[in-house]
Amino acid sequence: MVGVTHYLVLSAAVFAIGVFGILTRRNALLFLMSVELMLNAANINLVAFSLHYGNLSGQVFALFVMALAAAEVAIGLGIILVLDRNFGGIDVTVPTTMRR
Amino acid sequence: MTGAFDFAPAIALLPLAAFAVALFGGNYLPKRGALAGITALVGSLVLSIWALVTVAGGETYDADLYTFVAGQDTLSLHLGILIDPLSALMLVIVSLIALLVFVFSLGYMNDEDETGLPRYYAELSLFSFSMLAFVFADNLLMAFMFFELVGLCSYLLIGFWFREAGPSSAAKKAFLVTRFGDYFFLVGTVGIFATFGTGMFAGSESFPHMAEQALAGEHSVRTFLGLGEQAWFTVLGLLVLGGVIGKSAQFPLHTWLPDAMEGPTPVSALIHAATMVAAGVYLVARMYGFYLLSPTALGVIALVGGFTALFAASMALVKQELKQVLAYSTISQYGYMMLALGGGGYVAAVFHLTTHAIFKALLFLGAGSVIIAMHHNENMWDMGGLKDKMPVTYYAFLSGSLALAGIFPFAGFWSKDEVLYETLIHGFGGSPLLLAGYAMGLLAVAFTGFYTFRMVFLTFHGEPRTADAEDPHGVRWNVKLPLAVLGILAAVAGVINLAPVEKVTGIHLTFLHDWLDMAPDSFGTAVHHYTGDHGLMHEFAGYTAAHPLGETGTVLVGAAISLGLALAGAGLAYRLYAVPSPTEHTDKLGSLKTLLMNNYYQDEYQVWLARDVTLPLSRAADTFDQSVIDGVVNATSSVSLFAGERVRRIQTGLVTHYATLITLSLVALLVVFGYLGGWF
């Protein structure tokens, strides 16, 4: 039987992969994907608990999170485009002008 | 129907209008604004007399003019007019003296081709306005406002010749010293408003009345500092008295007044006779019902007054300038009024205020006339023999001097005698403190007789001692007319209250007493309310009258002693100075003379107080502020600056690093929460 614990382990694993991606990758597109992974890890949690408790609210929230993730991607892609235009690439270690 | 009271505001507003006219149009007017002032003061005088006559008909007036803060269920602040016998009398005195000073100024200022005359007349008008409004003020706050305006005007007028060093520094001194007293007055005013919720002088809603009820236990008021009602009222009375001591030049705040002689002489006459200095004593008389509730405050008033009378008179003994002698005599005479008020002699104080206003204005204007004649030399040792050259001035001045010295039957004799008599009988009636005041006042009588006649003999008698005295500059009608009017008044004004004669002969002659007694009962300002058989003086102040030699005997002996001392002083002056070529006898006093010439080192003492006590104190406070207070503030900011400088180093600008920090912080937070939450 697949219980809520299994879903939580899966979700934690996906979240950890996302964090790892953010901390190690230099490509901005991979950054964005890692963020998506983390968001969806949270989604898995929401859906799992919704199932566990027999309450649909969690699933509704998961839908909302997906919509938000779509919006976030739109903005993130915009930022990446500007990054490419201003710094000639999408390596996130190159722009350090925010320092001062 | 319109009566005198409908025009009451105009009594003060006419001089205000003259102020505006003289200030803005003075240069284009024939007498540089003098005529505007004279017209306005004639109007004020006529209206004041009309008000006086109406009051004599038994009517009084108490009305609000303008409310500038209307409070709901709390105090409201307003300007109002109170016309009762006391203020009606004072209005007439002030407007009469001010009018005569204006006329005299034509001779003293215009004929001498002074510059800046529009300014002079504008300030003089503003001065009259302030004083008249102060006199009819119906509440303490309004009185305070105009008290301050009077102080401002005196500053402006004393410093009229501001291009010279003396007048401008004298003006500053007058302003600062009186301000020092006014500070206490302001605190006292706030205290009275906080305690009673009103500053009204008269009526059932007035603060003296409420205080009386509070002491009788019919009504309770809020007191502060944990004091009982009696003690708190004493504190309030003494605070207001601070302003009175400053303005009326009582010890120890008298030092500004002799310096104020730097101003033009007509201004001195106005300041010392009817306005600025009188304001203090008038204020005590105005709220006398409040002071009577506090025996302590009365005792302080009596002692300060008696001491000032003696102290100032002793300094007047050795002065060489004519106006200096008069200045110290003013301080001394106001000391008598304070003595009378403190000694339960309300009528006596108002009586002396009235007669003194007349004879001191006369003496100052007479001195002004002499100064014109002497080409602005004020040293009495350069005069002499002016008697034959300026007879009008001489006889008027003599009349004023006799009144000042208290020689029978001139005005000053009656009033000064009544002051001393009231103090004496209340002193014997169980208040030995007053006897000390009486003794000082009595000694001052002899001094007064001496310095007054020393001044007369040196100025007018003997041989002329300089070329200017040989051939004095003539004076015109505009100088002689005010002198003549005041000279006659100084001789006869005593008839308004011949209390000793009444006591001896039984004929009713105390008109001033009756007059002041006419205030309606609802005002609570009538004499019988203050000093009658069931008045406040017996109920609260604990004063009773006792006549050690029977009533007639005490009157006669008291009068004889004071007259005898005055004559003794005058006689000594006659022996020493009424010779063709008088010499200085003051050297015989030895070191005492040095002490007196230096005014008991009061100025030095106050300078020492300011420079060697207050200044180091303020320096220490400044150091404390700069080092400790500012130090704490600066330390706080430097900690933030330093911390910011350090924390700034983790800002690398690399997004990855930020993400790492966030992640690590999150983990750290989880660990902390977990640890605190007992997960491990």
State residue B586's pLDDT score.
67
B638 pLDDT band (50/70/90 cuts)?
very high
Does a cis peptide bond (omega within 30 degrees of 0) precede residue B409?
yes
Has residue B664 got a pLDDT over 80?
A: yes
- The string of DSSP codes covering B649-662 is GG--S-HHHHHHHH
B637 pLDDT band (50/70/90 cuts)?
very high
State residue A100's pLDDT score.
56
Q: Which residues of A touch B (CB under 8 A)?
A: 19, 22-23, 26, 31, 92-93, 95-99
B1 pLDDT band (50/70/90 cuts)?
very low
CB B466 within 8 A of CB B584: no
B77-83 and B61-69 strand pairing: antiparallel
Q: What pLDDT digit, counting tens, does each position of B263-299 carry?
A: 888 888 888 776 788 888 889 888 888 888 888 888 8
User: Which residues, other chains included, contact B671 with Cβ-Cβ below 8 Å and sequence gap of 6+?
Assistant: none
Total residues belonging to chain A: 100
State residue A48's pLDDT score.
92
User: Which residues, other chains included, contact B60 with Cβ-Cβ below 8 Å and sequence gap of 6+?
Assistant: B83, B84, B85, B519, B520, B523
Check B659 against A22: CB less than 8 A apart: yes
Check A92 against B660: CB less than 8 A apart: no
Nearest to B487 by CA among B407, B392, B570, B353: B392
Total count of domains within chain A: 1
User: Which of A67-76, A82-91, B350-359, B528-537 is predicted with the least confidence, judged by mean pLDDT?
Assistant: B528-537
CATH number of residue A28's parent domain: 1.10.287.3510
Query: What is the signed CA dihedral for B605, B610, B614, B616, rounded to 10 degrees?
Result: -100
What beta strand segments (E) does B426-572 contain?
none
Integer Cα distance of B67 and B71 in angstroms: 10
Higher pLDDT, B27 or B398: B398
Mutate to test the interface with B, among A15, A17, A20, A22 (most CBs of B within 10 A): A22
Q: What pLDDT digit, counting tens, does each position of A39-52 carry?
A: 999 999 999 999 88
Mean pLDDT value across residues B212-219: 78
Q: Give the one of A23, A98, A99 whose C-beta lies nearest to B656's C-beta.
A: A23
- The string of DSSP codes covering B484-499 is HHHHHHHHHGGGGG-H
Element of type H or E holding B438: helix B432-460
Q: Which two tokens stand for residue B101?
A: 């000073």
Cα of B652 vs its chain's centroid, Å: 75
φ, ψ of residue B64 to 5 degrees: the values are -85, 140
User: Which of A73-87, B432-446, B475-489, B528-542 is predicted with the least confidence, judged by mean pLDDT?
Assistant: B528-542
Helices B551-577/B391-405 angle, 10° precision: 140
* Amino acid letter, residue B131: M
Decide if B2 touches A, using CB distance below 8 A. no
Other C-beta atoms lying within 10 Å of the C-beta of residue B252: 15
Helix (H, G, I), strand (E, B) or coil at B217: coil
Nearest to B344 by CA among B304, B306, B299, B402: B299
Decide if B656 touches A, using CB distance below 8 A. yes
- The string of DSSP codes covering B130-171 is HHHHHHTB-BHHHHHHHHHHHHHHHHHHHTSSTTSHHHHHHH
Has residue B551 got a pLDDT over 80?
A: no
State residue B381's pLDDT score.
79
Q: What pLDDT digit, counting tens, does each position of B469-524 carry?
A: 777 777 777 778 888 888 888 888 877 877 777 777 777 777 788 778 877 777 77
Check A96 against B653: CB less than 8 A apart: yes
- Which 3-state string (H, E, C) describes B358-410? HHHHHHHHHHHHHHHHCCCCCEHHHCCCCCCCCHHHHHHHHHHHHHHHCCCCC
Nearest to B559 by CA among B446, B400, B413: B413
> Chain B residue with minimal CA distance to A25?
B656
Integer Cα distance of B222 and B566 in angstroms: 49
Interface confidence, given as ipTM, is 0.82
Decide if B649 touches A, using CB distance below 8 A. no
Q: Which residue reads 């400044």 in tokens?
A: B622
Domain span holding position A75: 4-98
Determine what percent of chain B is predicted with pLDDT higher than 90: 7
Min Cα separation A10/chain B (Å): 19
Mean pLDDT value across residues B231-242: 88
State residue A67's pLDDT score.
93
B633 pLDDT band (50/70/90 cuts)?
very high
Q: Which two tokens stand for residue B292?
A: 């009577």
User: Which residues, other chains included, contact B204 with Cβ-Cβ below 8 Å and sequence gap of 6+?
Assistant: B522, B524
Element of type H or E holding B63: strand B61-69
Q: Give the one of A23, A31, A99 whose C-beta lies nearest to B653's C-beta.
A: A99
Q: Which two tokens stand for residue B202?
A: 């008269």
* Amino acid letter, residue B528: H
Nearest to B356 by CA among B304, B324, B323, B403: B403
State residue B106's pLDDT score.
82
Q: For chain A, which residues score pLDDT lower than 50? A: none
CB pairs under 8 A between A and B: 26
Average pLDDT, chain B: 83
Determine what percent of chain B is predicted with pLDDT higher than 70: 98
Mean pLDDT value across residues B517-532: 76
Helices B276-286/B85-105 angle, 10° precision: 180
pTM for the predicted model, two decimal places = 0.78
CB A92 within 8 A of CB B655: yes
The 10 Å CB-count burial string (b at 16+, else e) for B647-675 is: eeeeeeebbbeebeeeeeeeeeeeeeeee
Integer Cα distance of B192 and B289 in angstroms: 14
State residue B618's pLDDT score.
92
CB B178 within 8 A of CB B147: no
User: Which of A6-10, B179-183, B406-410, B532-536 is predicted with the least confidence, judged by mean pLDDT?
Assistant: B532-536
Exposed, middle or buried, B177 (CB in 10 Å: 0-12/13-18/19+)?
buried
Question: Taking the alpha carbons of A41, A47, A48, A53 in that order, is the dihedral positive or negative?
Answer: positive
Integer Cα distance of B655 and B588 in angstroms: 100
Distances, alpha carbon B420 to alpha carbons A91, B357, B555, in Å = 106, 19, 10
Check B655 against A92: CB less than 8 A apart: yes
Check A92 against B656: CB less than 8 A apart: yes
User: Which residues, other chains included, contact B335 with Cβ-Cβ below 8 Å and sequence gap of 6+?
Assistant: B250, B251, B304, B305, B306, B307, B308, B309, B310, B311, B312, B441, B444
Exposed, middle or buried, B386 (CB in 10 Å: 0-12/13-18/19+)?
buried
